[in-house]
Amino acid sequence: MNIRAGLKRLMLGPEEQPIPVLGRNDRCWCGSGKKYKCCHQSTDDRKRAAQRSGSNGGSSGGIF
């Protein structure tokens, strides 16, 4: 790691890993050997929903 990357990590925090997009019947990305639908699909769906709702442009939906 060079100085620039170290400072970037210090200022911005650690980078979030992208959520992999897999088919329901593919093997899970975590390496457990289970199918994705039985292992991590529900948690990944919740993460994606939270990211979508958090990045809705800052609109509060009120009158003001």
Domain that holds residue 37: 21-54
Residue 35 confidence (pLDDT): 93
Residue 34 confidence (pLDDT): 92
From first to last of the 64 residues of the chain, give the pLDDT tens digit.
688 888 777 777 766 666 667 888 999 888 899 999 999 889 988 988 888 887 655 555 545 4
| pTM across the whole model | 0.50
Q: Cα dihedral sign for 24, 30, 34, 38?
A: negative
What is the DSSP code (8-state) at residue 62?
Answer: S
Residue 55 confidence (pLDDT): 66
Query: Which are the contacts of 15, defined by CB distance < 8 A and separation ≥ 6?
Result: 9
Task: Say how many domains are in the chain.
Answer: 1
Residue 38 confidence (pLDDT): 93
Q: Is residue 7 part of a domain?
A: no
Q: Is residue 5 part of a domain?
A: no
